[in-house]
Amino acid sequence: MTIDQQVAEADAGVGRLWRRLGLPGLVDVHVHFLPPQVTAAVWAHFDRAEQHYGIAWPVTYRVGDDERVALLRRLGVRAFPALAYPHKPGMARWLTDWTLDFARRTPGCVPSATFYPEPDAGSYVGEAIEAGARVFKAHLQVGRYDPTDPLLAGVWGRLADAQVPVVVHSGSGPVPGLHTGVGPIGEVLRRHPRLRLVVAHAGMPEYAEHADLAVRYPGVHLDTTMVGTPFTESLMPMPADLPRRFADLGDKVVLGSDFPNIPYPYATQIEALERLDLGDDWLRRVLWTNGARLFGLGRDGTASEQA
């Protein structure tokens, strides 16, 4: 499969924006690269999206890893993770090994890891941090696990101590899970208030409740993944006061896209953020500064010595 010409033309506008803003590019905290067999399973799931979500969800960037990396570079994405997440025991260590190896051989890829509530979780999370993991992924909806599971107590504590961020899908969109919503992840934060959490999709549809967590806890950030796009607004429209909340939380809002598993061009996410009309300085922080700080990156998008 090749990228549609209309998609390529739309995406050309992304570079024009970050150059106008005087940025070196973009930092996207919510990007997925997975082992081939897992990628195939994820895309097969989206092929059946109407059964799951009641709406078609065509994957726009359905091409191989090398071409997707090249696409990110053309867009100006200077730093991105390869977020992976397990849905059953025994997957997390294997996924982490794969994503760390992917980062080692892919310039611009921030080393990432994942976990699942299982007896050896504390061990392999510690090993991943020692191996250089700079971000973790937790997906409470797909994983169908309670983040307060005792098997994860040591994991959250280790991540809080190491100040390694975790991109967590805790919101109930696109469909609720057994342990989604602000309650379970809020309890984790109560127990580990120093955690650096990045709430995926800004917690949609529980936008307000997750924004409250970002106000209450210094390490909580909100990522913009799919927020404000026409696709998402047709399903779970953001509340009228969300732009004001985003403005107030300007240093804690970070660019996320869900590339490549999005049903529209990458540019659509950037255009949605522009439409919030929160000013160029806010855009600079969201598109670059906040994500670079979260990942410990220097001006050129590479890891800083202090990270």
Model confidence pLDDT, tens digit, residues 201-219: 999 999 999 999 999 999 9
Strands lying side by side in the sheet with 109-110: 26-27, 77-81, 109-110
Mean pLDDT score of the chain:
96
What angle do the packed helices 5-20 and 65-75 form, to 10 degrees? 40
Among 80-94, 127-141, 292-306, the minimum mean pLDDT is found in 292-306
Q: Is the pLDDT of residue 254 over 70?
A: yes
pLDDT at 187 > cutoff 80: yes
The confidence band for 306, taking pLDDT boundaries of 50, 70 and 90, is very low
Tell me: pLDDT of 146 over 60: yes
Q: To 10 degrees, the CA torsion angle through 185, 190, 191, 192? A: 80
Amino acid type, 306:
Q
Confidence of residue 305 (pLDDT cuts 50, 70, 90): very low
Indicate the residue type of 229.
T
pLDDT at 303: 67
Superfamily of structural domain 5-295: Metal-dependent hydrolases (3.20.20.140)
How far apart, in Å, are the Cα atoms of 142 and each of 122, 165, 176, 236? 21, 19, 10, 19
How confident is the model over 31-43, as a mean pLDDT? Answer: 97
Residue at token pair 């439409």: 275
Residue in the structure block whose two tokens are 């092929």: 47
User: The whole model's pTM is what?
Assistant: 0.96
Distance in Å from the first CA to the final CA of the chain: 39
- Please tell me the distance from the alpha carbon of residue 34 to that of residue 84, in angstroms, as a whole number: 6
Domain assignments of the chain as residue spans, ordered by start:
5-295
pLDDT of residue 69: 98
- pLDDT of residue 85 exceeding 70, the answer is yes
| Lateral strand order in the sheet of 112-114 | 112-114, 135-139, 166-169, 197-199, 220-223, 253-254
Give the confidence band of 3 by pLDDT, cuts at 50, 70, 90. confident
pLDDT for 58 equals 95
Return the pLDDT at 304. 54
C-alpha separations of 12 from 76, 268, 272 in Å = 10, 11, 16
**Cβ-Cβ contacts under 8 Å for 234 (sequence gap 6 or more):** 55
Say whether 226 sits in a helix, a strand or coil: coil
**Six-digit token string for 205:** 């549809």
